[in-house]
Amino acid sequence: MGPASSPHVLIIGAGLGGMTLAQTLRKQGITFEIFEREENDDARQQGWVIGLHGYGLSTFFMFPSHMEDADPFHSMLDDLKASIPDDMPPIAQVNHLLPLDYAVEFAWYSLSGVPDAGKVGVRDDGSGNIIRAPRRRLRQWLSTNILIQWGKRAARIEEDKESVTVYFEDGSSARGDILIGAEGARSTTRNHILKGQDPIPRAATGVVGGTCTLSGQDLEEQLRLGHSCYLVDMPPVHGSPMFLFVALHEMLPDGKAGEYCFFIMWPDVDAARDDFWTWNAGGEQLRDFAMQKSRELPAKFRTVIESSTPMESPLRFWALAMDSLPTGRITLLGDAAHAMPPFRGEGGYHALQDALNLSRAIAKIDKDDNENIKELFGGYQAEMLERGAKASRLSAAAFSQSWDSEDSGAHYSWGQPVVPFPED
């Protein structure tokens, strides 16, 4: 489409998917505005670390039938690098292990019954096709030469045959030709599209976590267990699996200390309730729970727990799988369309893939042709929803089955099958 017929795009949400879409539109010369409900980049805890990777075998197995010819070894990150403007810094600078020269690595240890399982996992092979980045650092990279309008929480959306208008809680508004909801699992845009019949369920998963800074021998030991992060498949409690996840958030600039977090997770149907005990528990109660549940673990797996200050803000996971969406001048990407628990490390991958696919569709849109918009958004949504729903369901299933479960099947993380390797 020529510049005169290209749409002006409104993007609600300046997270991973929304910012990636903004950069791809910037490269194509398509005008846009991007809005974020947070007041600034420091408005909330930025502790999550996001794993990005190219196509892996698990992703290949999830391809919808109309993508049978897709190359399972094509890297989504190669696609990303080709789709963003040339003035972007190298993506390698967001690596959470810097300044250390370690390969990004996820490790898995089973203590639930597998004999001599040892250390298995996924490690970057030097190709750079696995990247693990702190959320704030990644957002700063994606914000290169982009104006984010902060403090813009969407209150309502109006759509007609010619345009879309979003009204914000601060009394301002914005009008565009199309609107993209990229504001995460609790999406105002999705609620508008579905006319209030929003299906988002909270995952039935209990979570307790904490954070700490490690240095010296403690840091060296944790890096040996897993350069980036590791999962411990703990002995079942009353027949239910329980997992410990430990992750390096980022190394400090001098390379002598690192910020860590841990999460103990377990299936619990009551966790989907608003009155689940962790929502109102104090720090000491949360710490006592974590210490009690981990007391039988080897000392090396308890180090981060024993060194941590509990996270008192409730941590909640979402699991959303939709089969269809209405088509019009509004669509979704990322968690707004297919929220998933983090148990396969693929949420970031799918948000980026959505943004890349959607940007190609937007490039073909004639803003004055409603049928053209419906056709292009309809094609995007069909692929995105099928891929995202399968990923969400697989992620939920990965948590509900322990390592030695007879029906657990093959294990994947970051789009790759886990393989044995020795501790460093």
Whichever domain contains 55, its CATH number is: 3.50.50.60
What's the angle, vertex CA 362, arms to CA 357 and CA 367, rounded to 5? 160
Which of 290, 316, 342 is the last residue in one of the domains?
316
Do 226 and 105 meet the contact criterion of CB atoms below 8 Å apart? yes
Q: Which pLDDT score is estimated for 347? A: 84
Q: What is the pLDDT of residue 294?
A: 92
Q: Are residues 329 and 309 in the same domain?
A: no
User: Same domain, yes or no, for 219 and 281?
Assistant: yes
- Confidence (pLDDT) at 416: 66
In a domain, 170, yes or no: yes
pLDDT (0 to 100) of residue 407: 46
Q: Is residue 414 part of a domain?
A: no
Whether residues 82 and 170 share a domain: the answer is yes
Is 298:241 a contact under the CB 8 Å cutoff? no
Where residue 61 falls (left for φ over 0; alpha for ψ -120 to 50; beta otherwise) is alpha
Cα separation, 212 vs 1, in Å, equals 52
Tell me how crowded residue 320 is: count the other CB atoms within 10 A of its CB. Answer: 21
CA atoms within 13 A on the CB side of 252: 12
Number of domains comprising the chain: 2
Stated pTM of the model: 0.88
Same domain, 23 and 51: yes
Same domain, 327 and 307: no
| Other Cβ atoms within 10 Å of 302 Cβ, number | 17
Last residue of a domain, one of 261, 296, 316: 316
Identify whether residues 50 and 169 lie together within a single domain.
yes
Q: What is the pLDDT of residue 420?
A: 79
Q: What is the mean pLDDT of each run of 10 residues along the chain (424 residues)?
A: 81 96 97 95 67 55 43 69 95 94 90 66 81 89 97 96 97 98 94 85 85 97 95 74 91 97 90 86 91 92 94 77 93 94 80 96 96 97 94 76 48 67 68
What burial class does residue 226 get, using C-beta atoms within 10 Å of its C-beta: 0-12 exposed, 13-18 middle, 19+ buried?
buried
The answer to whether residues 186 and 285 belong to one domain is no
Domain identity same for 213 and 174: no
Please report whether residue 128 resides in a domain. no
Among the three residues 316, 339, 361, which one is the final residue of a domain in this structure?
316
